Amino acid sequence: MKTQRIPIETQSARMGTLARLPVFLALEDKRTVVVGGNAAAAWKAELLAASGSRVEVYAEELSDEMLQIASDPPRGEIVLFGRAWKADDLDDASVAVGTFEDDADAAAFATVARATGVPVNVIDKPAFCDFSFGAIVNRSPLVIGISTDGAAPVFAQAIRAKLEALLPKGFANWAAAAARWRNVVKASGLSFSGRRKFWQLFTAQAIGNPDNEPSKRDYERLAAQASALGSAVESGSVTLVGAGPGDPELLTLRAVRALQSADVILFDDLVSRDVLDFARREARKLLVGKTGFGPSCKQDDINALVVSLAKQGKRVVRLKGGDPLIFGRAGEEIAACREANIAVEVVPGITAAQGAAASLGLPLTDREHARRLQYVTGHARDGRLPADLDWRSLADPSATTAIYMPTRTLADLAQRAIAAGLDPQTPAVAIARATRSDQVILSAPIAQLAERLTAESLPGPVLVMLGSVFSSLNFTSMTQHIRSAIASI
């Protein structure tokens, strides 16, 4: 008998420790100081000038790189002084950067800067630095800084290269448009919710068309769309989001956007907690757990809670493991929202069978062996094996079958399918926590799998799949794999 429980609010994860605090300095029209004339100092002078500061460089010898950058600075002026630095050169500076081979010289520079109240950076000498530059992805005014606290600059550069490839250069134009339009939107007469909707539409447009140059026509169209919603924009909404089988990297971009704009997130026990890391920190997170044969919230109570929160004007995300439309009882929640005239949409996710097959590197269909894929549930409302399963279909040797929630009923299901003609030697596989770091796999002929599943006591959630496409799995090695995997959990 199931134990009823009420929704449990989960606190957002506390901020972890930071080796460095990422801070973006406003240096336009401010004075900054660079001591040293080599190529490394030239690069720092260029960065400071790019931020709009007036850069004063003090060095007895100036490299060709420094001379070239000073002759054509990216933004702010670079002024060269062909002499050694003095203590009063740092007066009223916003930041000071120096390059020194000798630690004693570096320490003297850092000591004077700190005594003057100027944040200091000594290039390649972290012990004398109050701040670091890190690697930069420049889509200004969208700027991303990456720091490894000086431990692995090459690693930071590799991450920067990855982000450079992911972020279209056109994002710079959209970020600039956001800066131009922000005050215009505030003065547009749109309500707070209307302005929030404008920026949601703006973001979708920018992500969908990053290389388009944003124009006045784009602003007018987005503002008209937000305005056309009228009082509807003040109403709450519900989004059913598929969290995928567990690996948070399998979330869709649309799912991430929904999580980052939610006011309240209602999630199940089967949702990996790593997925919640993508949610907006300010969002309330309520566990409305539904686990087979364990403590569960009643579905009617969940429906009522979803509707109640949306009627309060909240943006509600109902987060479900896998895909919400596959054995996720999404139909009942959609019906409840529609009956209450609440706007509802669905963001599909990767279902467990797809994730499990991908982790095995095996197809679910094959031109020679499996021309049909079928999803079935292992238990009905009463927790027992459904009485209306199509046993002839389950016995079809040309089909691949994925059985959801099978743990308690697999033995009965296998027995009845074999009686209907299923070959008892049909390859089958049970996967627990598919796609997660602690994924566990057990493979055996379908006639033996239930017994092995009981003996191994796999951690949930568990999915069973059977069909000739799994014939390449080695039963012995899989059994050994599961034992070692369980030992490491």
Asked if residue 372 lies in contact with residue 399, where contact means CB atoms within 8 angstroms, the answer is: yes
pLDDT in tens, 133-188: 889 999 999 999 999 887 788 899 999 999 998 889 999 999 999 999 999 999 99
pLDDT in tens, 430-485: 999 999 888 999 999 999 999 998 888 887 789 999 999 998 876 444 443 444 34
Q: How far is CA 9 from CA 265, 268, 289, 291, in A?
A: 10, 12, 11, 17
Which pLDDT belongs to residue 457? 80
Residue-by-residue DSSP string for 432-447: ESTTSTT-EEEEEEHH
Q: Which two tokens stand for residue 332?
A: 């009942």
Say whether 268 is catalytic: yes
pLDDT band of residue 233 (cuts 50, 70, 90) is: low
Say whether 44 is catalytic: no
Residue 298: CB partners within 8 Å, gap ≥ 6?
A: 4
* pTM listed for this prediction: 0.67
Q: Which two tokens stand for residue 352?
A: 């467990």
Q: What is the mean pLDDT of the chain?
A: 89
* Degrees to nearest 5, angle at CA 431 with 428 and 435: 135
Q: How far apart are CA 364 and CA 372, in angstroms?
A: 9
CATH superfamily of 353-488: Tetrapyrrole methylase, C-terminal domain (3.30.950.10)
Exactly one of 125, 197, 290, 320 is catalytic; which is it? 290
Which one, of 242, 244, 246, 287, lies nearest residue 264 by Cα?
Answer: 287
Q: How far apart are CA 260 and CA 183, in angstroms?
A: 23
204-217 burial, b for 16+ CB within 10 Å, e for fewer? ebbeeebeeebeee
Q: Is the peptide bond before 348 cis (omega within 30 degrees of 0)?
A: no
Q: Which two tokens stand for residue 1?
A: 């008998």
**Other Cβ atoms within 10 Å of 352 Cβ, number:** 28
The helix/strand/coil state of 271 is coil
The torsion angles phi and psi of 119, rounded to 5 degrees, stand at -60, 135
Exactly one of 89, 218, 247, 268 is catalytic; which is it? 268
- Residue 445, strand partner residues: 427
pLDDT in tens, 78-88: 999 999 999 99
CATH number of 31-133: 3.40.50.720
**Other Cβ atoms within 10 Å of 104 Cβ, number:** 8
Asked if residue 201 lies in contact with residue 222, where contact means CB atoms within 8 angstroms, the answer is: yes
Q: Does the domain at residues 235-349 carry the CATH identifier 3.40.50.11890?
A: no
Q: Which amino acid is at 320?
A: K
Least confident of 21-30, 33-42, 322-331, 471-480: 471-480
Position 7 pLDDT exceeds 90: no
Q: How far apart are CA 477 and CA 471, in angstroms?
A: 13
Q: How far apart are CA 398 and CA 61, in angstroms?
A: 79
